């Protein structure tokens, strides 16, 4: 360890670097619960680490600030901090740090929709993680590559990457990352129209998020589950999921996402032709969005236009035509003002239907022509077909048979094209889904075999753990005998001194460790050689501690076995983490179990 130019005392320098490492761990802990606090702590830690010229601490703090800025969508500033972190990790030969930052930079490029750049970063991270056999880092890189493939509409590749990523996180036991993957996989299956598989993965994600107290994310997932049930026509189950999600959102004051749940509930009531009920929930959603107008985002504005469209449609079904037209105009005003073109054709269609039912075909045609112009621009053939159909009704009322026939032919061709396209799409999705089921079946077989091997390893570790405890008990008994011998006489004679010396020799004997090492080598034949080769800076004692951690001994038990204090073992653990270049979020025990496995 190179001392800081400002601190020449080794012990003070070590204590200060430990404090900085702890501060980075605290900052990262806040990242999931309080983004502002995480960034604030990381920025102060960066100042402290810079004053000390402690590069590992500077690198970790820069990275934490960077990922906080990604979540705040301040991408340019995030990239600056992440690039600094990357240079520092590379300078200190911290490969794991490099992998983490490469993955974070990939996320920056995804947010910018620069898929080529994102793919380059994620592929680099994957290559490095495979080189050092870091399963968790490999999982993150594969998840990123899945996200790139999904945005490129290569759903087959996206699903394959997500499934491989899930397998990595299952091996590492990282529950929150597993939940994220279950969510992503569920979304892909939904896009394949494989709704049963989508629900299976969504429910797995909800279960983990509930268990890990990430209930706000569970609430959003319940909304997705409700949407799937709504598509499959299982409206009772859809309502149950929507209301559960709504309840969680209210419980945790997730006001920004409550209008979405209210909107979904209203849409189900529309499908059930309960228009009065639908209006009740549409208006609740609308009022909430209007109350949050000062904080409103582009997405919320888009949602507002969709809600106004739904209200207009309800009034159309209830034959309250003036209100239907009023809400269509309100929706069009917002959609046109903020250039949300996907809502405009649907609003125009509602207006055309309303004017047709009011026996005002000329006014209906005005909306049809405007709607067709936008629908063709955004290539929404489903709405184009609906508008052409309304045009047929208009020209019939105007007794213009020639125009009615012209629009009917266009409507027929569009409807046929939409039907054929949907039919081909469904066949393609089913084919891919069947192929993926075969892949999953093969993976399941491999998983079962892996689980069998893992159970064998667990049993081996139990045996080693038991043997280590026996050694500890033996030392404890020797210590007891030593104390008893000491108490025999206040004036120790030569015989007692010799007996105590012999007990001390036996207690400190390397024979016991050699016995344990032989058994450990038998169960984990390559671990000691592997970790010593990969991390040559580890001392003999640190290698011993790594072995004992691998068989799940506690710090107290390790201290007893090695005749050291608990505080000394804690210091060794901290030094081991530094020499292994572990970041705050990586648990030492999990890392030791993931590398050099036999």
Q: Is the pLDDT of residue 28 over 80?
A: yes
Chain segment 260-269, per-residue pLDDT in tens: 999 999 999 9
Asked if residues 308 and 334 have their Cβ atoms less than 8 Å apart, the reply is yes
d(CA 411, CA 199): 35
Kindly report, residue by residue over 170-187, the tens digit of the pLDDT.
988 888 899 999 999 999
Angle, alpha carbons 465-467-471 (nearest 5°): 115
Instruction: For residue 168, give the nearest of 209, 125, 119 by alpha carbon.
Output: 125
- The answer to whether the beta carbons of residues 122 and 141 sit under 8 Å apart is yes
Show the DSSP H helices in 487-509 as ranges.
Answer: 494-507
CA atoms within 13 A on the CB side of 171: 27
C-alpha dihedral sign at 572, 577, 579, 584:
negative
Band of the pLDDT at 598, cuts 50, 70, 90?
very low
pLDDT at 124: 95
Query: 398-449 pLDDT, tens per residue?
Result: 999 999 999 999 988 888 887 776 666 666 666 666 666 676 677 677 777 7
Give residue limits of the domains in the chain.
460-486+498-579
Distance of CA 470 to the CA centre of its chain: 42
Output the furthest CA–CA distance in the chain (Å, rounded).
127
**What is the rounded CA–CA span in Å between residue 364 and residue 352?**
4
Average of per-residue pLDDT values in the chain:
85
**Class of residue 138 by CB neighbours under 10 A (exposed 0-12, middle 13-18, buried 19+):** buried
Whole-angstrom Cα distance, residue 156 to residue 81? 34
**pLDDT value, residue 422:** 62
Q: What is the spatial distance between Cα 309 and Cα 469, in angstroms, rounded to a whole number?
A: 70
pLDDT of residue 465: 72
pLDDT above 90 coverage of the chain, percent: 51
Residue 5 has pLDDT above 70, yes or no: no
d(CA 500, CA 505) in angstroms, rounded, equals 9
Could you give the CA distance from residue 326 to residue 292 in angstroms, rounded to a whole number? 23
The predicted-structure confidence for 246-262, as pLDDT tens digits, reads as follows 999 998 888 888 999 99
Note the pLDDT of residue 296. 45
Q: Which residue has the higher pLDDT, 471 or 554?
A: 554
Euclidean distance between CA atoms 185 and 201, whole angstroms: 7
pLDDT in tens, 136-149: 999 999 999 999 99
């Amino acid at each position: 360890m190179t001392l800081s130019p400002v601190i020449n005392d080794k012990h003070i320098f070590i204590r200060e670097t430990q404090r900085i490492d702890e501060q980075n761990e605290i900052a990262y802990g806040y990242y999931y619960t309080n983004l502002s606090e995480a960034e604030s702590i990381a920025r102060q830690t960066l100042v402290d680490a810079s004053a000390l010229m402690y590069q590992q601490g500077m690198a970790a703090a820069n990275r934490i600030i960077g990922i906080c800025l990604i979540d705040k969508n301040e991408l340019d500033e995030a990239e600056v901090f992440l690039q600094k972190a990357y240079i520092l990790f590379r300078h200190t030969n911290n490969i794991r740090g490099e992998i983490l930052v490469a993955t974070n930079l990939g996320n920056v490029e995804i947010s910018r929709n620069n898929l080529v750049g994102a793919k380059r970063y994620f592929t680099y991270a994957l290559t490095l993680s495979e080189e050092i056999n870091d399963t968790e880092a490999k999982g993150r890189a594969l998840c990123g590559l899945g996200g790139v493939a999904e945005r490129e509409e290569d759903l087959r590749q996206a699903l394959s990457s997500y499934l491989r990523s899930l397998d990595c996180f299952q091996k590492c036991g990282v529950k929150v990352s597993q939940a994220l993957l279950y969510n992503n996989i569920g979304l892909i299956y939904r896009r394949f129209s494989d709704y049963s598989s989508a629900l299976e993965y969504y429910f797995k994600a909800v279960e983990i998020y509930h268990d890990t107290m990430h209930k706000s994310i569970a609430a959003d997932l319940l909304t997705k589950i409700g949407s799937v049930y709504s598509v499959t026509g299982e409206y009772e189950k859809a309502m149950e999921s929507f209301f559960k999600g709504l309840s969680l959102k209210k419980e945790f004051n997730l006001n920004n996402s409550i209008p979405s749940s209210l909107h979904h509930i209203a849409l189900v009531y529309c499908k059930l032709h309960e228009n009065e009920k639908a209006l009740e929930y549409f208006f609740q959603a609308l009022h909430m969005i209007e109350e949050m107008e000062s904080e409103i985002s582009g997405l919320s504005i888009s949602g507002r236009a969709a809600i106004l469209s739904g209200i207009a449609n309800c009034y159309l079904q209830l034959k309250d035509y003036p209100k239907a037209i009023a809400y269509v105009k309100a929706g069009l005003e917002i959609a046109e003002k903020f250039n949300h073109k996907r809502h405009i054709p649907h609003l125009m269609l509602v207006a055309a239907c309303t004017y047709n039912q009011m026996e005002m075909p000329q006014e209906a045609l005005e909306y049809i022509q405007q709607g067709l112009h936008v629908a063709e621009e955004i290539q929404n053939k489903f709405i184009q077909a609906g508008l052409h159909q309304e045009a047929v009704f208009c020209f019939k009322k105007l007794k213009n048979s020639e125009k009615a026939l012209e629009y009917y032919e266009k409507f027929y061709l569009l409807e046929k094209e939409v039907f054929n396209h949907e039919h081909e799409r469904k066949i393609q999705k089913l084919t891919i889904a069947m192929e993926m089921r075969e892949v999953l079946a093969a993976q399941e077989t491999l998983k079962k075999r892996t689980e069998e091997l893992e159970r064998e390893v667990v049993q081996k570790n139990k045996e080693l753990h038991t043997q280590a405890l026996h050694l500890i008990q033996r030392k404890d008994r020797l210590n007891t005998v030593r104390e008893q011998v000491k108490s025999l006489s206040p004036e120790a004679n030569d015989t007692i001194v010799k007996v105590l010396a012999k007990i001390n020799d036996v207690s400190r004997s390397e024979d016991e460790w050699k016995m344990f090492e032989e058994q450990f080598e038998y169960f984990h034949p390559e671990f000691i050689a592997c970790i010593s080769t990969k991390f040559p800076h580890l001392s003999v004692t640190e290698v011993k501690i790594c072995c004992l951690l691998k068989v799940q001994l506690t710090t107290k038990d390790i201290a007893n076995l090695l005749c050291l204090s608990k505080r000394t073992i804690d210091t060794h653990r901290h030094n081991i983490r530094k020499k292994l270049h572990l970041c705050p979020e990586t648990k030492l025990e999990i890392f030791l179990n993931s590398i050099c496995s036999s």
